[in-house]
């Protein structure tokens, strides 16, 4: 079945450092979504990428979707303590398949 | 306020005692879904529904049932719960945009313990 691998599993940074998490799918995706989950909270949608090679920015966050639509990344510039949480990617094959498969997430901790 | 609600938020039960976790959304979303979250395993989709009376299996459907009789509600049923179903459960909903889902809104979660 479809698998979505996400690395690293954990990342600890000093405040102000950059952070990147990577997502790789075993199959071509129609779209990929990114979520953030704060400790004790529920996942919150960040963004959706649909087009091959797409790059989207949200303030200090940059999201990329690979040309082959099998990989994606989330990059945070100059991390802040408010960035702490687990970041998940989730992909779908589309067409008649609406199943959404999540990566296991990357837990980001930020040292002030 | 647009939201997804789940009840109960916490439940401790015993093996074999049937239970239902309710999920409701007030955004007129077509797509609804159930996930379980376990340490080290992330979020795994149990079932999803594209509209009323249309449901399909996710990655881990065994031991669960769902129904979608109304657009706003998507209950998760455990006919005979077992300890390996102890987990944190999330319901989510979204609009459908053609062949893909749009922004998914998650409920607050239900922490289930099966003894």
Specify the higher pLDDT residue, A98 or B46.
B46
Give me the tens of pLDDT residue by residue for chain A, a chain 112 residues long: 778 999 999 999 999 999 999 999 999 999 999 999 999 999 999 999 999 999 999 999 999 999 999 999 999 999 999 999 999 999 988 777 788 899 999 999 999 9
- The total number of residues shown for chain B amounts to 115
Chain B CB contacts of A92 under 8 Å are 100-101
Q: CA separation (Å) from B6 to A49, A103, A109, B109? A: 28, 24, 29, 7
CA angle A30, B105, B24 (to 5 degrees): 120
Taking one residue from A and the other from B, the number of pairs with CB-CB distance under 8 angstroms is: 68
- The chain-wide mean pLDDT, for chain B, equals 94
| Nearest chain A residue (CA) to B54 | A98
């Amino acid at each position: 079945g479809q698998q979505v691998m996400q690395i690293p599993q954990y990342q600890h940074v000093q405040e102000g450092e950059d952070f990147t998490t990577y997502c790789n799918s075993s199959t071509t995706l129609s779209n990929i979504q990114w979520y953030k989950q704060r400790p004790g909270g529920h996942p919150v949608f960040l963004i959706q990428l649909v087009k091959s090679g797409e790059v989207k920015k949200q303030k200090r966050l940059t999201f990329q979707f690979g040309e082959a639509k099998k990989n994606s990344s989330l990059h945070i510039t100059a991390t802040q303590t408010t960035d702490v949480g687990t970041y998940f990617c989730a992909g779908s094959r589309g067409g008649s398949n609406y199943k959404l498969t999540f990566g296991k997430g990357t837990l980001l901790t930020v040292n002030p | 306020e647009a939201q997804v609600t789940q009840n109960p938020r916490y439940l401790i039960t015993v093996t074999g005692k049937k239970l239902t976790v309710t999920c409701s959304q007030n955004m007129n979303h077509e797509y609804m879904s159930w996930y379980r979250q376990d340490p080290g395993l992330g979020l795994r989709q149990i079932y999803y529904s594209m509209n009323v009376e249309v449901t399909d299996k996710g990655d881990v459907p065994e031991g669960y049932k769902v129904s979608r009789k109304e657009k706003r509600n998507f209950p998760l049923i455990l006919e005979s719960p077992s300890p390996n179903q102890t987990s944190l459960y999330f319901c989510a909903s979204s609009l459908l945009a053609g062949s893909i889902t749009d922004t998914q809104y998650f409920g607050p979660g239900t922490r289930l313990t099966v003894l």
